[in-house]
Each structure stands twice: as structure tokens, then as C-alpha cells.
Chain A
Amino acid sequence: MTPRTRERALLAALFGLVPLIFVFTVLLPSRKRMEAKQARMRIITARLDALPAIQPLSPLERSLLADPRARWRTRIPLLVTDADRFAQYQRVVSGLQGAWKGQGVALQGVRASLDVLNGSFSLPGDLGHPDLGLPVRDTSATGQVQGWVLDARIGGKPDRLFQAMASLAWVDPLLEPVGIRWESTPEHTRQFLLLRNLYLAP
């Protein structure tokens, strides 16, 4: 091999083989690793995007959740047994009467059904002490929300209806007004406030 041929071979190796070696030993493996990293990055980004954005608890919520005697715990109670349902019925009716009595609203009668209970009665007078100290189960995260409607007959003119609604917030069992029935005949005038009470069934 002449020096010129040897030099040409060296040149060919230098400018042909070395770049090839670079490509195959450095560039392509690096590209492969980069692609793997980028794929991992995409997966991480997708998982991050998929995570729900949850608002942290506010101090008020923390205090409410931490208080075992907070009022909210018994507003939508868990009714498991018949006794629970009877107690709930008692709480609603007596609670209503107690709250309305203070506002000068007369609860004249009630018509409702809560599971096994079917109630339809007039209330000519006071029920007496409304709080019998019956135990109330706390609300729950797992129970199924259900409701029952109570027709409360209210004496007086229609303005009593509005007064009765305004005082619902003070009744411990959560009662949502869902309707009004009012009728006036030459013989009598009747007005009913329809209230829905929510509870949890197991």
C-alpha cells in the first residue's frame, strides 16, 4: 500500500467511518434514550393532568368536621331502624311546631308518610315538650339520600305561609319547602305548606 493510498484510506476512515461510529454509538442511542425519557415525561404529564384538582379544606370546614357535636351532623340523619324513623318523625313534627309557635304560626295538622309511618292528623293544641331526648344518628358519607314530604296545614292568612317558610332555617331536621296548596271556598280557607325532609337510608 503506497503512502497516498494509505492516506486516502485514513481519510475515508476518518470522514466516513468515524461519523458512522458516532451516529451508531452516540447519536442513535442518545436519541433512543431521549425518546424513552420523552415518552415517560408524556406519561407523567398525562397522569398529572388526570389527577383531580381538589380544593383543600377551609379552616371553617376543618372546624365543622372536627366538631362531633356540630349541628350539621344531625340535619340529614342516617335512619337505619324503625325507631330511627319514628324518632325522626317526632323530631320533624315537634321541631316544626316548636319553631313556628315562637313565630306565631299555627300548625293545625299534618299529613305525611315516612316508610312504615302514615300520619294524618290535626293538631288542635300544643304537643308538649318537643324534645324527648331521642338519640339521633349522625349523617354519613355512605348512605343513600332519600326524602319524604310532609303537608303542614297552617292557620291564618297566606302571610303565615311565608312566615312559616322563613323560620324553617331554625328547625334542626332539614326541611325544604317544595310547594304550597291554598284553597278558599265560601265555607272555609285552607292552606298547606309542603315540606321535604331529607334522610339517609343505609
Chain B
Amino acid sequence: MPKSLAKTPVTLLIDDQGAGLYLESGQFLGLMPAADPVLGLRAAWIPALRELVAAGTEVQLLLDQSGLLVQCQEAPSLNAREIRDVAIRVFAAETGAEDLECAGAQDADPLAGGGQVLWLAAQPRGEMHEWIGAIQGAGLVPAWAMPFQRALLQGLDSLWDTGPVRLVLAVTPSRVGHLCFFQGRSLALQRSFAFPADGTEAEELAYEEVSRLLQFIKQKNRELSFHSLEVLGLPPFSAGFQARVRSALGMEVRMLAPVLWPVLVEGLGKERGRKDGLNLVPLEIQEAGRLRLFKGAVWAASAALALVFLTGTLFLCSQELILQGEVDRSSQLLALRESRTTEEARTVDARVPLLRVKLAEQRQGQAVTGLSRLGTWIFQPPQGIQLEKVEILQLPGDRVTEGFTITGLAFTERGFSVGPLAQYVLDLNRQAGLTLEPVAEATISDRVVAGQERHLDQLAITRFTLKGTFR
């Protein structure tokens, strides 16, 4: 037989016929052997489970055997601990037995008094421990255990909803028929019976069971009326059967699902998905499982944290190393530059006299050029200007700047004598870099004697003093 895929949950359907192992897809893996009369159930199951299922796989138990106790009650809202306590008290009071593994779950139901329907289930502890022991002994993980009826109700939710009162005929893969009467979220009544494979016989049995159950229900509650019989896990009944049910019992036959397994799997999944689902696996094992999960999470978180811290430490170390490298390089550069600077300082000392001479020569050249240009401009006056005194002196300062004073005469043979002076001033002013101060002194003594126009020489004179700078 093929082994289940690793880590894919498998389901053990346990009923009075035996225990069958199924994959989620509904594939039948195998039947668990009967308990060894000497060594017990574990000795028989463990090798079979090991052979069929990979170690570490989760196992779900779907309980459908006659030893299982299921009861529904209307109740107010209770917490998980209270539900469990109620289950223990109820079954202890009912059976007088204390070695029961009890569990419960609560469904909101607006039709129920208190607004809640309490599902209670109990399984003899001895049997449960044998199963769990066998599962654990085979290296598998007991994940969930719930009554078949509960899985059926949860799975039915996804199918056609016919109203608050439902009569359901479900036949398991191991040919056990279940006739369930659900009132809202509550399992009001249930009958289980072996279901024959033969079609006619099966229809006859189904009709008998349904009519008998209806009769029983009607005796207790005449106001209830059923409109349909919902059938799961069977191929369609014959038209004759359906007509018979319709005419005799007043109900339509609705073939909801030809295969029951997907409905059960969905119901199982839905129950497991609930925070407070009905789970008959012993509490200590559930705790151990949770603890294992928690430990796994803690280890994963530890590893992640360690990784983060390790990465952070490495990052910080790398940053430090990079910075240290930069510091070292900069220190070396500084040392090099400082040693060079000492050498350069010696170079500068040696260079100072040379630079001084060069600067002095440069200044000498500038002075020669400046003085020559200025002298050229000053000593080339226009006609009519006679220079008497020229004094050019370098002004103090880093930049070569010449200050000058020009004293002279402007004269003409005819006309006004300031004309040549004006021309001279204009010429000088045109020279770039030359700045003339406002004329401080210009004495004009122009005179024309009537009748002596031929002897004008020296009669038209302007004595002037010009000052300015040139840079």
C-alpha cells in the first residue's frame, strides 16, 4: 500500500467495524488490524501505521464507534474551561464513569435558549489512550479527535441549507448509516446502523429507518414537520423510492453528496480552524502539542533574533573596520603631509631670499614700465604747453603707484591760452590708469592789445599746476 505523503494529515475513521486510515483526498490507505489478544492494540497498530504513514504526520481521529457519547444542550455562553467542566459533570452523572475523555464546543444558535448550543462528547479514556499511544508509538502526531456527527454538521454548512430542522441520512465509507435529526445547531436524535450494499435492500432499510425515526419524533413533538430527507454518501436513490418517500412520508429526497468523505474532511477542517473546537485528544497531549509548537516558534524566533543580532554585530564590526581603515589611512596621510611640511618649510626658508629677489625684480620691472609710460605721456605735451617742473614720486604701498606734480605754462600766439592746457589735461585723462586731481591752480593772463596783433607772443599765458596719480 502506498505511504501517505510526508506531513499531509491523515484521518483515522474509527467505528464499530474497525479503524480505517484515509488521506484528505479520501483515498483509503488501509484498515488497522484488530488488537493483539496478548500484546494489545498498540502492538498491532504501530507497525501498520509505520508502514502506511510517514513519521511526523498529523493524524486526525473521526470517532463513530458506539462507545462514543455525544450530547447537545442549550446553554448560555461559556468559556473553554467551563465547557470542559460541564462535559465532565454531565457524562459523569449520566454514566457514573470517571475515566472518560471529555470535550465540548459551543455554537451560536438564535433558536436555542441562551443563544448557544453546547456540543458535549466523551470517549472512554482507556480506548483513547490506546489509540493515541499507538499513533505516538508510530512516530505520528495525534492532532485532533472529534465525533463523526459533529464533523457531519460542520460539513453540512457548506451544502444546501434546508432550514432549522434537518433530517440527514449519511453513509460512511465503511458502510455505516447514520440517520441524524438536527434541530438548528443541535443534534436532537441519531441512529446508526449497518448499511447494506445492495440497492433495493438499502432503499428498504433506509425507508424503514426514516419512517421509524419520524414516527418516534412525531410522538414526542407533533408540531415538527420535515420537508426533505438529505442524503450523503450514496448514489441517487431510485425514482420509486423517492416517490414512495414523497407520498408516504411527505418529504423530498435530496441527494446532497454522493461521496461523504469531502463533507467530513471539510467539517473536520472547519472544527480545527475554530479557536475552541471540539477536540477529544487528551488535554495533556494537546498541551504538549501546543508546547511543541510554541517551542518551535521560540526556537525559530531565537534563531531569527540570533541571526539579526549576528548580522547587526557583523555590520557594526564591518563599519568599525571601514572607519578604522579610513582613520589609519588619514593618519598615514597626515604623518606624510606633516613630514613633507617640515621639508617644505625648509624649502620655503631656502626659497625666501630667492622669492624676495624675484619679487623685487618684478617690482623693479613694474616700476620701470609705469614710470616710463607716465613720463612719456607727461613729457609729450601738445603744442603751446611749456613744462617747467615735473616731479614723479612713487607712493607708499605694495602696489606700484606713482604720484606726480606738473608745473608749466600754456600759451598761444593767437586765441585763448587755456586751450592747450585743456588739450593737455584731456590727453592725460585719456590715459588708462592715470587719474588727475582737480586742478588746484591755473593762473590765466590773456591779453590782446589793440593794434599790436602781430606781437601777441607771451601775451596769452596760463600758469598751471597739475597733480595726479598713475597705477
Report the nearest A residue to B403, measured CB to CB. A179
B358 → chain A closest CB, angstroms:
8
- List chain A residues, Cβ under 8 A from B305: 14-15, 18-19
B351 to A57, Cβ gap below 8 A? Answer: yes
Question: Could you say which residues of chain B place their CB within 8 Å of the CB of A138?
Answer: 353
The docked-state distance in angstroms from the alpha carbon of A61 to that of B357 is 12
With A51-B341, A54-B348 known to touch, is A41 a contact of B326 (CB < 8 Å)? yes
Instruction: Give 1 or 0 for each of B328-346: 1 = CB within 8 Å of chain A CB.
Output: 0011011001100100110
Distance between B246 CB and nearest chain A CB, rounded to angstroms: 58
**Do A180 and B295 contact each other (CB < 8 Å), given the known contacts A30-B316, A141-B352?**
no
Q: A177 contacts which of B319, B330, B337, B367 (Cβ < 8 Å)?
A: B367
Tell me if B316 and A27 are in contact (CB < 8 A).
yes
Binding site for A on B (CB under 8 A): 287, 291, 294-295, 298, 301-302, 305, 309, 312-313, 316-317, 319-320, 323-324, 326-327, 330-331, 333-334, 337-338, 341, 344-345, 347-354, 356-358, 360-361, 363-365, 367-368, 371-372, 375-376, 379, 387-394, 402
Residues of B within 8 A of A10 (CB): 298
Question: Quick check: A14 and B302 within 8 Å, CB to CB?
Answer: yes
Most buried by B among A141, A181, A185: A141
18 A–B contact pairs at CB < 8 A? A7-B295, A14-B305, A18-B309, A22-B309, A30-B316, A30-B320, A41-B323, A54-B341, A76-B357, A141-B350, A141-B353, A162-B375, A165-B372, A169-B361, A176-B367, A178-B394, A179-B391, A185-B388
Write out, one digit per residue, whether chain A residues 41-66 have a CB within 8 A of any chain B CB (1) or not (0): 10011011001101011000100110
Which candidate, A32-40, A101-109, A112-120, A127-135, is the interface stretch facing chain B? Answer: A32-40
- A-B pairs, 3 with minimum CB distance: A54-B344, A178-B394, A179-B393
Contacts of B317 in A (CB 8 A): 30
Judge if A175 is at the interface, Cβ distance under 8 Å: yes
Contacts of B331 in A (CB 8 A): 44
Q: Verify A72–B334 contact, CB threshold 8 A.
A: no
Closest CB in chain B relative to A136 CB, distance in Å: 14
Contact B334 A14 (CB under 8 A): no
Closest residue of chain A to B333 (Cβ to Cβ) is: A48
Q: Is the CB of B301 within 8 A of A15?
A: yes
The docked-state distance in angstroms from the alpha carbon of A48 to that of B363 is 34
Are the CB atoms of A182 and B389 closer together than 8 Å?
yes
A139 in contact with B357 (CB, 8 Å): yes
A161 within 8 A of B: yes
Q: Name the distance in Å between B340's Cβ and chain A's nearest Cβ.
A: 8
Known: A14-B302, A37-B324, A141-B352. A198 touches B295 (CB 8 A): no
Taken together as a complex, chains A and B put the C-alpha atoms of A198 and B356 apart, in Å, by 10
Complex: chain A residue closest to B391, CB-CB: A181
Question: Which B residues are in CB contact (< 8 Å) with A182?
Answer: 379, 387, 389-391
A61 in contact with B351 given A75-B360, A169-B364, A194-B393 (CB within 8 Å): yes
Known: A179-B402, A180-B390, A182-B389. 15 other contacts (CB 8 A): A7-B294, A30-B320, A61-B351, A65-B350, A65-B351, A72-B354, A72-B358, A139-B356, A158-B375, A158-B379, A168-B368, A179-B391, A179-B393, A180-B375, A181-B392
When chains A and B are docked, how far (Å) is the Cα of A37 from the Cα of B387? 76
Q: Is the CB of A44 within 8 A of B330?
A: yes
One of A37, A176, A183 near B323 (C-beta < 8 A): A37
Identity of the chain B residue whose Cβ is nearest the Cβ of A194 in the assembled complex:
B393
B353 near A181 with CB under 8 A, answer: no
Residues in chain B near residue A181, CB distance under 8 A: 390-392
Residue of A nearest to B295 (CB): A7
B contact residues around A169 at 8 Å (CB): 361, 364-365, 368
Cα distance, A48 to B340, chains bound together (Å) = 12
Residues of A near B348 (CB, < 8 A) are 54
